[in-house]
Amino acid sequence: MLRKILLHGFTAGVLAALASLVYQQIYFKSLGADFSTVISTTGIIATCVGATLLASLGYFLVQRLLKSRAPAVFNLLLLLLSFASIVGPFAIKLPLELEAPELFPGLTVPMHFFPALAWLALSPLFYPMQVPAEKRA
């Protein structure tokens, strides 16, 4: 089961990284704000995959503790943590040579939700809904 959960986390991380990189390009092309010296491609991939692998371990633990209620509790927890993490982009002090630091949260705040979105989007593929036998009939 852990292997399946970790695979879910890894796939979600890759998907989130891909979404983040596409968003970074769109942001740069539309606003001209280049923060690539602060958030590099490698950094984005590592952060997304790292976050979702960590989420996998969290899900594994929650599942062991709460059994059938695990998905609901975990999804709520994932949402809360993603929301709490947006404090970071608002509080960060960027290198002074970077222009327009006020545009930084606009780039990174959505990225903070991509791992959770990817995790939730891929969940049905990894854990198909169990329909009780009486309802199948």
Query: What residues make contact with other proteins under the rule CB under 8 A?
Result: 90-96, 98, 100-105
Min separation Cβ 98 and other proteins, Å: 7
The residue among 71 and 101 lying less far from other proteins, judged by its C-beta, is: 101
Min separation Cβ 96 and other proteins, Å: 5
Tell me the Ramachandran region of residue 100: left when phi exceeds 0, alpha when psi lies from -120 to 50, beta otherwise. Answer: left
The residue among 33 and 53 lying less far from other proteins, judged by its C-beta, is: 33
The residue among 30 and 68 lying less far from other proteins, judged by its C-beta, is: 30
Neighbouring C-beta atoms of residue 67, cutoff 10 Å:
8
Encoded tokens for 133 = 């036998």
Min separation Cβ 37 and other proteins, Å: 13
Amino acid occupying residue 110: P
CA distance 55 to 137: 36
CA distance 70 to 83: 20
